[in-house]
Structure 1
Amino acid sequence: MRLSKPGYRSIKPLDLQHFVSPYTRALAWACFSAPLVNIGDHPALALTPERMAWLQSLDNDDQPLRKHLQERCKSPRLGLVFESLWHFFLEQDRSTELIAHNLPVRNARGRTLGEFDILYHDHTLQQSFHLELAVKFFLAMRPGDIPLSAWLGPNSADRLDRKLERLQTHQLPLANSPEGALAMSNVGIEHCKAQLRVAGVLFYPQGKRATSACLNNDHPKGTWFSVQQFTTQKTEKEQATWRLLEKPHWLSADYQQTQGIEKALALATKRPQMLINQKLERCFVVPEHWPLIPNTD
């Protein structure tokens, strides 16, 4: 099912530049950037004018968000920070109520079968939702029409097709199982609708076109180069506009927390490195022989 419905608005890189606080920038990007894939249904999560105004007010005083992350998210791991940003949004939004998060689903013997990332209720729609979350950064192995298996994580081990299969076949159907229904009823939910939010960025080889089934046309995009391609195709002046963005800051795209291009290129000879410029455009620079491991099933 397509996510980009009429009236659906998403945060663009230019929008993010308007936010001074890196915390607000991370929240806006996590919750309102265009998703990577057209799977799920998000009518309750659109970026409305009211929500944009709320983001702006939060940018003027981000202390509530800072406090939330300090108290509720003790780990710098991207996935956990991403989830915690969503918790804050659903708790603060006037139309939504966060009912539970990371709720385990267990069988009669106590074995954990999975967990609900988020259960929330939308008062406007009078509907409860089971929302599964993921944030991923994938690089296309080659240009052209490619299968989802040809989108790899920077470490070459993660694959977009595997991630989506896990979400669709294991996580999303949890609510339809007897054990899932029992877990939901324990928090007061009898019926819910499943939603999937896969945020992130897809990176294209030297900016060349690559397409795959079910990708959202509006997804955040970047480019990737080998070290040699980056240094030969870009002048020193062009290279200097890019800075190393280390992983704790991938969500906030905080240009103030970047490091020089020299360090980025030195590190990129061993493992992929994300770069960012002042326009908040992103790219990866990777070792010459990326992917780093065989892409086998």
Structure 2
Amino acid sequence: MNLSLHHPVVRDLYWAINSPTLLEAPCLKDWQDSSHWFTHRLQQLDQQPAPLLQHLQQQVHHPHQPRLGQYFEQLWHFYFKHHPDYQLLLHNLQIKAPDNHTLGELDLLIRNRHSHEVFHLELAVKFYLAVPLYPSDNSLACYIGPGLKDRLLDKYQHTCNHQLPLSASDAAQAQLMARQIKVDQAQAVFRGRLFQPLAIAAKNQPAWLPQAELHQLNATETFLCLERRQWFAEQTIEHDSYNYDQLANHLATPLARPFQVAVIDPQTQQETRRLFVVPDSWEAAARDCLHQPL
């Protein structure tokens, strides 16, 4: 993080907009905002976060533990509602067929105030773990969510083949024309992290490891066990951090599900790496799920 931001939700807002794209692909937009306006706005919110917190409390059904996707979307809604160069036209617009069957939903429709172009943006925040068939395998087909219910290839194909073309469908055109809106471009924004097996991951790259291999971690580092609401922005050291022995003791009982850990450099007190620690049976179950038909 280039800015010295302290409030966790403001840090999440920065991360939502400016973290790297999850994938480099034609249908994905690598949206970044280094403008003076956004930098100044973030600094203002870091001092007085009430407008952002009030927005989230009004819009998110479970403000203390919202679904990550909903929380991510609301951060983007706040960003566009206050952006001087864009107008937020609509969000979460359900598209219905003539028989009233729901065909899908358009996440965001925004208008560039200068060019007057209208963009349909699909938003996704995802965390996938690679389970490669061989060490150099980095295909989309080898990535799966920690809960084994979400595969990267499925998400990418559904976004490019269904969600993005939806705004050009006859049903969407009819609904948008009634609002005098014409979509000029449709693109998706993917944020999140891709975790490699620790044995083949590059230094400081997000990685995952089975609980039984916890001893592979650097015993001199500091660790934070993260709640889901802490999965977005990089973390700094807190009072509830663990040293290696404390982490190993915390994980003495077999895990029921994967969880994220932030690795903190004790000298700089800044995050250097993000990890998933998974149950020892997780990899075999993940391989089974990945080999099921799409």
User: TM-score when scaled to structure 2?
Assistant: 0.84
Q: Which runs of 5+ in 1 are unaligned?
A: 1-13, 211-219
Give the residue type in structure 2 aligned to 1:224.
W
Alignment check: 8 A CA contact 2:120 2:183 kept:
no
**Alignment CA distance shift 1:113-1:235 (3 Å):** closer
2:261 equivalent in structure 1: 275
- Mapped partners of 1:45, 1:97: distance in 2: 17
Secondary structure of the equivalent of 2:115? coil
1:9 equivalent in structure 2: none
1:26-65 equivalences under 5 Å are 26-39=12-25, 40=27, 42=29, 46-65=33-52
Shift of 1:262: 4.8
1:107-146 equivalences under 5 Å are 107-142=97-132, 143-146=135-138
Shift of 1:179: 0.4
2:267 equivalent in structure 1: none
Give the residue type in structure 1 aligned to 2:231.
W
1:3 equivalent in structure 2: none
1:128-277 equivalences under 5 Å are 128-142=118-132, 143-206=135-198, 208-209=200-201, 221-231=205-215, 233-238=216-221, 241-253=222-234, 256=238, 260=242, 261-262=247-248, 265-266=251-252, 269-277=255-263
**Alignment CA distance shift 1:77-1:136 (3 Å):** same
Alignment check: 8 A CA contact 1:272 1:287 kept:
yes
**Alignment CA distance shift 1:60-1:202 (3 Å):** same
**Alignment CA distance shift 1:222-1:125 (3 Å):** farther
**Alignment CA distance shift 1:268-1:26 (3 Å):** farther
Alignment check: 8 A CA contact 1:131 1:197 kept:
yes
- Mapped partners of 2:197, 2:20: distance in 1: 21
Alignment check: 8 A CA contact 1:44 1:122 kept:
no
- Mapped partners of 1:83, 1:257: distance in 2: 30
Q: How many corresponding residue pairs?
A: 271
Alignment check: 8 A CA contact 2:21 2:191 kept:
yes
Percent identity of the aligned residues?
A: 32
**Alignment CA distance shift 1:258-1:203 (3 Å):** farther
User: TM-score when scaled to structure 1?
Assistant: 0.83
- Mapped partners of 1:144, 1:192: distance in 2: 39
Secondary structure of the equivalent of 2:257? coil
Residues 228-264 of structure 1, C-alpha deviations (whole Å, 9 max, x = no match): 2222x235443xx111101122124555496653576
Q: Which runs of 5+ in 2 are unaligned?
A: 265-269
Shift of 1:46: 3.4
Alignment check: 8 A CA contact 2:223 2:241 kept:
no
Give the 4+ runs in structure 1 shifted more than 6 A: none
Shift of 1:186: 3.0
Bigger relative contact order, structure 1 or 2, given CA contacts below 8 A and separation 6+? 1
Give the residue type in structure 1 aligned to 2:157.
E
Secondary structure of the equivalent of 2:162? helix
Aligned-residue RMSD, C-alpha? 2.4
Alignment check: 8 A CA contact 1:269 1:287 kept:
yes
**Alignment CA distance shift 1:46-1:221 (3 Å):** farther
**Alignment CA distance shift 1:146-1:234 (3 Å):** closer
